[in-house]
Chains A and B, each alone.
Chain A
Amino acid sequence: MFGDYSIGDLGSIFVMQGFAGLILFSVYVLMALGLAIIFGQMGVINMAHGEFMILGAYVTWMTSNVFQSYLPSLFSGYFFLAMILAFLASGALGMLVEWVLIRHLYKRPLDTLLATWGLSLMLQQAYRSIFGAREVGVELPQWMLGSLHVTDSIEVPINGVFVMGLTVLITIAVAYIMFRSRWGRQVRAVVQNRIMAGAVGINTAKVDRYTFALGCGIAGVAGSAFTMIGSTGPTSGQLYIVDTFLVVVFGGAASLLGTIASAFSISQTQSTLEFFMSGSMAKVLTLLAVVGILMLRPQGLFALKVRK
């Protein structure tokens, strides 16, 4: 297939394809981080993860509308505020959901699957009733559109670079919170042994609530960022949920490092395969590889030893 192309052409295509892989990697990490916290640390199977993301996307859309109508001069910077608002909105909803629904189900982890599935349907219909069934178009500031010309033939999409940067920032923040802060230590203590953690004076109910809220908040930021590359509609969240679970389960549920490693291997495999064969075949082969590896290593790539 490469016979007709010059070395220069091929070189730049491979560079761009490399970037495509990295962008996919960042997207996977960003959408999986929130779930990795909730599923990995709390054992809650949150099927409504995609809907928390879309809440972030809708918040971004509303913010852009407000800025367009009232503060057009500041429009180019609205996205940063929108991401913060998205984090707060999704986090607040997460906290509410934990209080109303999830906390009653900690002893029945499989039931969280059904409960959050129902929640996702309710949220979808709520979005549909509030924002309408049609997709909304989130308008982006001019500087976020288009691409960087590195050379004549190499162009790197700006929104991709933006997502990459955001992913790095959020990953560092999450790692810091989980492994360097006092609160993170409490979370890990609760994960490893809930009863003992309670016995030494950690308010486990509060830790649960904030952990869930943090996971949902990160989902909101991810949703906000994805308005740059994807659609915003009541059911758009469904587009991400399968890939998200794939990344988290493959990585080993309780390990953040595993999530990153798994996002990297899945995204690189997929984007390399996509280049040499059709999109749907690439997906099939990627999934086959994942299934195969999970059969050999059911606990995922990285697994923590947790006392049950």
Chain B
Amino acid sequence: MSDETNQGLQSAFRRKLLMGMAAIPAVTMLPRSSFAQTPATSAVNTTGLAVTDTEVTVGILHSATGTMAISETGSIEAEKLAIEQINAAGGVLGRKIKFIQEDGASDWPTFAEKAKKLLVNDKVAAIMGCWTSASRKAVLPVMEQYNGMLYYPTFYEGLEQSKNVIYTGQEATQQILAGLNWIAKEKGAKSFFFIGSDYIWPRTSNKIARKHVENVLKGKVVGEEYYALGSTQFNSVINKIKLTKPDVIFTDVVGGSNVAFYKQLKAAGIDLSKQALLTISVTEDEIDGIGGENIAGAYACMKYFQSLDNANNKAFVPAFKKMWGEKTVIGDVTQAAYLGPWLWKLTVEKAGSFDVDKIAAASPGVEFKGAPEGYVRIHENHHLWSKTRVGRAKLDGQFELIYETADLVEPDPFPKGYQ
């Protein structure tokens, strides 16, 4: 309630006045940055978050240990890079970002516990974190109960929307539909074979894909197979693929299984330069483990590839490599994680406040023109408008951009006719 009263009193003029007043003593003490933008802490933080006159604290919550560390390491790196860059550019509302990193340890209850610690003990202004849907589902009630703000980077199955979460990755329809349309048109594909890991994301994604293939593309799904997470034997399903001879193999296999699947596909003599394969789960990160020679020729449907040719990306990739080493690769989710701190900064500046309620309200319409993927904008449903792209894997482990949608694709986490 107190938030709303304060909001009512603070006209834009009053806020500017406060900013100016706060700047006067600061200029003499700390000469380096432009303190004309630094508003008083009491004005920008009415809910007791960890904001001081010079610093604001955010949380980073990913798995640095455990099985998900493979995937989440890139996100941690991207978020730290973004924070460093924002600080170098003067911070947020004149305050440097300080981060507290917690380890979710690939364990979902740990994620919830650490999220609570970050919100209740550390009073962080926002959390950049989570990777799997399971960890997000574990953290969501905590975010809602203690009114935190989560920036979630992974492409995911949709069917969720929260005031307390900004989804910087694609929901399922954004990732799948344009890719299927493209391959149907380009390759004249009529028959599809689905293979995925057995959990919520592949199953939901394939459900959407099946509806689209059957109802919109008027094609046929000749097989739909799921293998337990961590499976390493795919010879049987590969034989089924050989028997059914689908125009397209559509895969959402994840983790270590991915490596086994592509190695065995290649060993079974399926040549990806002739057999079309469209994946929504392999980024440059995964190819590191799979090996470029095992997957060259496959198509991936993502919103970002490291090889994208635009000015933002040409600055982003060298900066990332400079910070984390020449050999690191940048996948789709890593880029989406990079958007989190920037979108938060832009939203805070738009709202003129660190208060979570104001940020949640100010989020729709926030644009980030410096995104490595090009340009993104936050939708009313807290997902991002972004383009869908199809890339083709090359021997060196990079993707060659083959197709991108002309316009930004609207996020639709609750797609009608697909459920």
Point out residues on A near B: beta carbons under 8 Å: 5, 9, 13, 16-17, 19-20, 23-24, 27, 125, 128, 132-139, 145-147, 149, 155, 157-160, 226, 228-236, 238-240, 270-271, 274-275, 278-280, 282-283
Q: Quick check: A155 and B289 within 8 Å, CB to CB? A: no
Q: Quick check: B236 and A239 within 8 Å, CB to CB? A: no
Q: Quick check: A133 and B70 within 8 Å, CB to CB? A: yes
Question: What separation, in Å, do the CA atoms of A234 and B63 have in the docked complex?
Answer: 13
List residues of B (230-289) whose CB comes within 8 Å of A's CBs: 230-233, 235-240, 242-243, 255-260, 263-264, 266-269, 285-289
Partner of B293, one of A145, A232, A279: A145
A271-B235, A278-B226 given; A236·B266 CB < 8 A: no
Q: Does B182 contact A (CB under 8 A)?
A: no
Q: Which of A137, A149, A157, A160 counts the most chain B CB atoms within 10 A?
A: A137
Q: Does B64 contact A (CB under 8 A)?
A: yes
**8 cross-chain pairs, A with B, having the tightest CB-CB distances, nearest first:** A135-B289, A231-B259, A20-B235, A157-B267, A274-B236, A133-B69, A231-B256, A147-B269
Extra 9 A-B pairs, beta carbons < 8 Å, given A139-B293, A235-B256? A23-B235, A133-B70, A133-B72, A133-B73, A134-B70, A158-B267, A228-B263, A231-B257, A279-B226
Question: What separation, in Å, do the CA atoms of A265 and B93 have in the docked complex?
Answer: 67
Partner of A17, one of B64, B74, B236, B269: B236
Partner of A147, one of B65, B263, B267, B287: B267
Question: What separation, in Å, do the CA atoms of A146 and B291 have in the docked complex?
Answer: 14
Closest to A162 in B: B267
Question: What separation, in Å, do the CA atoms of A240 and B233 have in the docked complex?
Answer: 11
Chain A residues with CB under 8 A of B230: 238-239
Q: Quick check: A233 and B227 within 8 Å, CB to CB? A: no
A134-B70, A274-B236, A280-B198 given; A159·B225 CB < 8 A: no
Q: Quick check: A230 and B239 within 8 Å, CB to CB? A: no
Q: Is the interface of B mostly helix, strand, loop or mixed?
A: helix
Q: Quick check: A20 and B239 within 8 Å, CB to CB? A: yes
Closest to B232 in A: A230
Q: Quick check: A280 and B239 within 8 Å, CB to CB? A: no
Chain A residues with CB under 8 A of B64: 133
Q: Quick check: A283 and B228 within 8 Å, CB to CB? A: yes
Partner of B256, one of A9, A16, A230, A280: A230
Q: Quick check: A280 and B226 within 8 Å, CB to CB? A: yes
Question: What separation, in Å, do the CA atoms of A256 and B271 have in the docked complex?
Answer: 39
Q: Which of A19, A159, A239, A282 counts the most chain B CB atoms within 10 A?
A: A239
Question: What separation, in Å, do the CA atoms of A96 and B164 have in the docked complex?
Answer: 51
- List 16 A–B pairs whose Cβ atoms lie within 8 Å, in order of A's numbering: A17-B239, A20-B239, A24-B235, A135-B70, A135-B289, A158-B267, A229-B232, A229-B264, A230-B260, A231-B258, A231-B260, A233-B289, A234-B69, A235-B70, A279-B225, A279-B226
